[in-house]
Chains A and B, each alone.
Chain A
Amino acid sequence: MPSTSSINDGKLAPGSTLILVGTTKGAFVLASDASRKAWTLTGPHFPGESVYALAYDERNGRQRTLAATRSFHWGSTVRLSDDFGKSWTGPERQTVRFPEASGLSLVQIWQILPGPADDPDLMWAGVEPACLFESRDAGESWTPVDGLLNHEHRQKWQPGGGGLCLHTIVPHPHDKQRMLIAMSTGGVYRTEDGGKSWRPRNHGVRAEFLPDKYPEFGQCVHKVASHPAKPERLFLQNHWGLYRSDDWGDTWHDVANGVPSDFGFCMQMHPHDPDTVYIVPMQSDQFRCAPDAKLRVYRTRDAGASWEPLTNGLPQERAYETVVRDALTADSHESAGVYFGTRNGKIFGSRDGGDNWTEIADSLPPVCCVKAAVVGGNH
Chain B
Amino acid sequence: MAISIVLPRALHQYARGSNVVSLDEPCPTVADALASLGARLPAVTDRLLTEQGELRPHVNVFVGTESVRFLDGLETELADGSTLTIVPAVSGG
Which residues of A approach B to under 8 Å, CB–CB?
A: 24-26, 47-50, 71-75, 90, 92-94, 97-100, 102-106
Q: Which of B48-56, B66-74, B77-85 contacts A (4 or more CB under 8 A)?
A: B48-56
In the complex, which of the residues B51, B53, B54, B56 contacts A74, with contact meaning CB atoms closer than 8 Å? B56
Closest chain B CB from A100 CB (angstroms):
6
Considering only CB atoms, which chain A residue lies closest to B56 in the complex? A75
Closest chain A CB from B50 CB (angstroms):
4
CA A49 – CA B91 in complex, angstroms? Answer: 12
In the complex, which of the residues B42, B43, B50, B59 contacts A73, with contact meaning CB atoms closer than 8 Å? B59
Closest chain A CB from B68 CB (angstroms):
16
B75 at the interface (CB under 8 A from A): no
CA A2 – CA B61 in complex, angstroms? Answer: 49
Compute the total of residue contacts between A and B using a CB distance below 8 Å: 63
CA A100 – CA B53 in complex, angstroms? Answer: 8
Q: Which 6 A-B pairs have the closest CB atoms?
A: A105-B50, A74-B47, A48-B93, A92-B43, A73-B88, A94-B46
Q: A48-B92, A49-B93 are in contact. Are A73 and B10 (CB under 8 A)?
A: yes
Main SS class of interface, A: loop
In the complex, which of the residues A24, A26, A73, A98 contacts B56, with contact meaning CB atoms closer than 8 Å? A73
Contact B93 A90 (CB under 8 A): no
Chain A residues with CB under 8 A of B46: 75, 93-94, 97
Contact B14 A92 (CB under 8 A): yes
Chain B residues with CB under 8 A of A100: 51-53
Contact B14 A24 (CB under 8 A): no
Contact A94 B47 (CB under 8 A): yes
Chain B residues with CB under 8 A of A93: 42-43, 46
Which residues of B approach A to under 8 Å, CB–CB?
A: 10-11, 13-14, 42-43, 46-48, 50-54, 56, 58-59, 88-89, 91-93
Contact B93 A25 (CB under 8 A): yes
Contact A71 B93 (CB under 8 A): yes
Considering only CB atoms, which chain B residue lies closest to A107 in the complex? B50
Considering only CB atoms, which chain A residue lies closest to B46 in the complex? A94
Closest chain A CB from B35 CB (angstroms):
13
In the complex, which of the residues A24, A75, A106 contacts B93, with contact meaning CB atoms closer than 8 Å? A24
Considering only CB atoms, which chain B residue lies closest to A105 in the complex? B50
Chain A residues with CB under 8 A of B13: 90
CA A98 – CA B59 in complex, angstroms? Answer: 20
Chain B residues with CB under 8 A of A98: 51
Give 20 CB contacts A-B under 8 Å: A24-B93, A26-B93, A47-B93, A50-B93, A73-B59, A74-B11, A74-B47, A74-B48, A74-B56, A75-B46, A75-B47, A75-B50, A92-B14, A92-B42, A93-B42, A97-B51, A103-B52, A104-B52, A105-B51, A106-B51
**Most chain B beta carbons < 10 A, residue from A24, A72, A93, A105:** A72
CA A103 – CA B59 in complex, angstroms? Answer: 20
Closest chain B CB from A50 CB (angstroms):
6
CA A94 – CA B59 in complex, angstroms? Answer: 16
Considering only CB atoms, which chain B residue lies closest to A47 in the complex? B93
CA A102 – CA B53 in complex, angstroms? Answer: 12
CA A50 – CA B92 in complex, angstroms? Answer: 10
**Most chain A beta carbons < 10 A, residue from B14, B42, B46, B51:** B51
Closest chain A CB from B93 CB (angstroms):
4
Chain A residues with CB under 8 A of B43: 92-94
Contact B92 A72 (CB under 8 A): yes
Contact A73 B58 (CB under 8 A): yes
Closest chain B CB from A360 CB (angstroms):
23
CA A73 – CA B47 in complex, angstroms? Answer: 8
Considering only CB atoms, which chain A residue lies closest to B60 in the complex? A73
Contact A105 B47 (CB under 8 A): no
CA A121 – CA B52 in complex, angstroms? Answer: 29
Chain B residues with CB under 8 A of A104: 51-52
CA A92 – CA B42 in complex, angstroms? Answer: 8
CA A104 – CA B54 in complex, angstroms? Answer: 11
CA A47 – CA B51 in complex, angstroms? Answer: 25
CA A99 – CA B53 in complex, angstroms? Answer: 11
Closest chain B CB from A71 CB (angstroms):
7
CA A26 – CA B93 in complex, angstroms? Answer: 9
Q: A93-B42, A93-B43, A94-B47 are in contact. Are A73 and B89 (CB under 8 A)?
A: yes
Chain A residues with CB under 8 A of B91: 72-73
